[in-house]
Amino acid sequence: DTEVTQTPKHLVMGMTNKKSLKCEQHMGHRAMYWYKQKAKKPPELMFVYSYEKLSINESVPSRFSPECPNSSLLNLHLHALQPEDSALYLCASSQAGTGGLSGANVLTFGAGSRLTVL
């Protein structure tokens, strides 16, 4: 299995809702990532988990809460979001975490979850 699977593919939520995005990989990768991508822009790093521990938080607002239940799963909990948070949220994984060998840090991306906040 060489895929990163993200669910749901599309999500529409109000500003008072609580929802979660889910990500799963079975490649034995030990690092997992959340990225946010606006239309026609490059992905922007949000969080990195390395060996199931949060290693990077790119000053993301607390209305986004990541969780890594085990080495294969990564969640992003969403609460009290704003319309400007509407974007494509990408999950990725790599063999190694930050500071690892170059080849081991090559990221494999999922197809993304398209989030619309009303």
Partner 1 sequence: GQQLNQSPQSMFIQEGEDVSMNCTSSSIFNTWLWYKQEPGEGPVLLIALYKAGELTSNGRLTAQFGITRKDSFLNISASIPSDVGIYFCAGLRNTGKLIFGQGTTLQVKP
Given the rule CB under 8 A, which residues bind partner 1?
4, 6, 31, 40-43, 45, 48, 56, 90, 92, 96-100, 102-103, 105-112, 114
Identify which of residues 18 and 38 has a Cβ nearer to partner 1 in the complex: 38
Task: Give the nearest distance from C-beta 85 to partner 1 in angstroms.
Answer: 18
Residue 116's DSSP bridge partners are 12
What is the greatest pairwise CA distance in the chain?
A: 42
Task: Give the nearest distance from C-beta 116 to partner 1 in angstroms.
Answer: 14
* 110 token code pair: 């999922």
Identify which of residues 113 and 117 has a Cβ nearer to partner 1 in the complex: 113
Identify which of residues 18 and 116 has a Cβ nearer to partner 1 in the complex: 116
Task: Give the nearest distance from C-beta 79 to partner 1 in angstroms.
Answer: 24
Identify which of residues 80 and 100 has a Cβ nearer to partner 1 in the complex: 100
Cα separation, 103 vs 48, in Å, equals: 17
Strand order in the sheet with 4-7: 4-7, 18-25, 73-79, 64-70
- Cis peptide before 83, with omega less than 30 degrees from 0? no
Burial class (CB in 10 A: 0-12, 13-18, 19+), 13: middle
Task: Give the nearest distance from C-beta 18 to partner 1 in angstroms.
Answer: 25
